[in-house]
Structure 1
C-alpha cells in the first residue's frame, strides 16, 4: 500500500481535488487499498477552498510515499514551517508533486532549483521571475524531473495523477481509470496547454462548425470546398469570413490542427511517424517533417526524444522504428 499525502491550505483551488478521485478509483479497480489518502494542512482542522467550501485536514505528520501540493488561484508566500516540511519531503518521499501553482511552494522549498518545471500558463512568467534557478516551461501539461513532478492548472491535475498511477501500476490501469473518469486517456506530459481551436476563437457558428469538422476529419483532404460545405457557405464566402474571424487562411488553420494532433500522437509514443502522418492528414513523413520545422523549429524525432528526457522515460518501439 502506498500513502498519498495532499497538502492544502486556505484558498486552495478546488479543481486540484479532482486528483483524489483518480486514486480512489484505482483502489476500486484493483479491489484493494493500494492507495491510502491523507489530506493535510500545516495546523490541521478545517480549511476553506477558493470557493469557500470547508474540508477537514490532518496536521502535518509522517512523510507519505508521495506528497502532492495543491496550489491556489493566486500563489502566496508560505510559512517557514510548511517550507521546511516540503523541503524535507524532497529527501524523504519517493515523489513530490505540485499541482498548478503548487509549483510555487515547491520552488520556495528549493525543490525546483536546477530542474525543469511547469505551472498554469497564466502564472509561468511570475514563477520564472521569482525563481530564476528554475527552468519554467509554460507549454506542458506536466513535467517529471527526477522525483519531482509539476503540472499545469485545472484539469491537468487528472493527467498528472493518471501518470503517477501509470508509473506505479502500468498503463492498463491508468486507461481504465480514465474511462471511469470519463476523460481521454491521460494527455502526455509534453502536450501543449493550449488548444488550436481555442486560440483561433471564431465568432460565428458557421466557422466553428467548419473547424470542428476539420478536427474530426483530419485524414480528409480538407479543401476549402469541403470546409465551406460544412459551414453551409460558398467557398468564396467561407474563405473571406474565415480570414476575418481567425486572422489566417483555412489552409493555415488546418495545418495547425494537424500539427496539434500529430504532436499529441508523437508524445504518446505508441505510433510510428508513418502512422502519425497518415492519421493526421499529412500525406507522408516528409511533409509532416517540414511542417514541424516551420512551427516548432525541430523535426518530429527530436521532439519525441526531448520529451522522453523531460519525463524521465525510455525509448519505445515506435522510437526505434523511427530512428531506423
Structure 2
C-alpha cells in the first residue's frame, strides 16, 4: 500500500547546523528520518545551515549543500547541531558557537548529535542539564564542562526541550524519537520499517559497545580478565576470581578497571552479559534460555537488568526485534 500523501497543515521547520568536517551520517541519517516521515503524513521542511551560508565539506570529503546562514534563521521548530571529529581536542570556531547560541532563542527545541554536544556545551546551553555524547568523548565532556551532568551510556538524553545524542547512528534514534513526539507511535513505526532500522531504541538505553569495545591496552594486566569474560560470560566472574586470573589484588584490579575502562569490574561483566543476552534473544532463544547462557541466573534478573539499561523488558525487546525483522 502506498504511503498517504504528506500533510499540508502544521509544517515544522527542521534545520541542521553543519560546518567543514561535519560527520556526513550525523546530518544525512537524521535528515532522512524526517524526509521519510513526510511520506507518511508528516510535514517537515528540512534545511542545512552553516555560519557563512556556504556549502561545507563533510567527513568523507564530499560537499554538502547549504541553503542559508545560521544567523538568517528567523524561526525553526527544531535546530539540530551535527558533530564532527574536529570538535574534540581543539578550539571550536567561536563564530559557530555564537551562531548556535543565538539561534537557540529562535527554536522550539534544540538538539545535538554525537560531538555536536561540545558546541552546545561551549555555548553554555547545557549548563545545569543532563546530556550525552559519543561514549569515547563522554569523560572529556564531563571534565571540560563540570556543570553538565553527563550520562555516558545513554543513546540520547532529553532535558526539557534540549536533546543530546550519542555517536553517529544514534542521531537516527534521536530523529525517530522527535518524530514520535510530534506524530505518535504508529507513524514512527512506519518510518522505521521503511528505513529498515530498529523500531526505536529507548533514549536511556545503554550504548552497548561502550564497554564491550573499550578493551584495555594490549599489554594491560586486565587483558586476561576481560578476555575470560568475553569468552564465557556465564562463568564465575567475581572480583576475586578475576583478580586471581589477572594475578592482581582485588584493589589493583578495581583501580585498573576504573583507570583503563572507566567502570567497575561488576559493571563490565554485567554489560558483557547484557550483550550476550541480546544476541541470544536476537537468535530466537527464549527469555529463560537467554538469561542462562548469558550468566544472569534467572529470567527475573535478566528482566531487571534489561529494564535498567535498555528501558524495555527482554520480552518487549524480542518483540521489537521481530517487528523490525519482518519489516
Alignment of 1:180-259 (within 5 A): 180-195=194-209, 199=213, 248-252=231-235, 259=274
The CA distance in 2 between the partners of 1:200 and 1:248, in whole Å, is 16
CA contact (8 A) 2:120 2:126 kept: yes
Instruction: Give per-residue Cα distances to partners, 1:134-169, cap 9 Å, x unaligned.
Output: 111111111111100001112111100000000100
Alignment of 1:85-164 (within 5 A): 85-164=99-178
The CA distance in 2 between the partners of 1:261 and 1:89, in whole Å, is 44
State the shift of 1:89 in Å.
3.4
Q: Match of 2:142, SS?
A: helix
Q: Tell me what 1:72 maps to.
A: 84
Q: Normalising by the residue count of structure 2, what TM-score does the alignment of the two structures yield?
A: 0.65
Q: Name the CA shift for 1:279/1:183 in 2 (closer, same or farther; >3 Å).
A: farther
Q: Normalising by the residue count of structure 1, what TM-score does the alignment of the two structures yield?
A: 0.66
Instruction: Give per-residue Cα distances to partners, 1:55-86, cap 9 Å, x unaligned.
Output: 22121212311000001023153344432332
The CA distance in 2 between the partners of 1:44 and 1:301, in whole Å, is 45
CA contact (8 A) 2:153 2:210 kept: no
| Residue 6 (1) aligns with residue 16 (2) | yes
State the shift of 1:193 in Å.
1.1
Among 303, 306, 311, which residue is 2:308 paired with?
Answer: 303
The CA distance in 1 between the partners of 2:199 and 2:177, in whole Å, is 10
Q: Tell me what 2:50 maps to.
A: 41
Among 59, 62, 69, which residue is 1:53 paired with?
Answer: 62
The CA distance in 2 between the partners of 1:119 and 1:186, in whole Å, is 18
State the shift of 1:290 in Å.
4.8
Q: Tell me what 2:245 maps to.
A: none
CA contact (8 A) 1:196 1:260 kept: no
CA contact (8 A) 2:30 2:175 kept: yes
Where structure 2 has 5 or more consecutive residues not aligned to the other structure, the ranges are: 1-10, 216-225, 238-268, 280-285, 313-327
| Residue 29 (1) aligns with residue 12 (2) | no
The alignment covers a number of residue pairs equal to 246
Q: Name the CA shift for 1:182/1:117 in 2 (closer, same or farther; >3 Å).
A: same
State the shift of 1:173 in Å.
1.1
State the shift of 1:15 in Å.
1.2
Q: Tell me what 2:321 maps to.
A: none
| Residue 18 (1) aligns with residue 29 (2) | yes
State the shift of 1:197 in Å.
11
- Which stretch has the larger CA shift, 157-166 or 52-61? 52-61
Q: Name the CA shift for 1:126/1:170 in 2 (closer, same or farther; >3 Å).
A: same
CA contact (8 A) 1:119 1:152 kept: yes
RMSD across aligned positions (CA): 3.5
CA contact (8 A) 1:159 1:187 kept: yes
CA contact (8 A) 2:97 2:123 kept: yes
The CA distance in 2 between the partners of 1:73 and 1:246, in whole Å, is 32
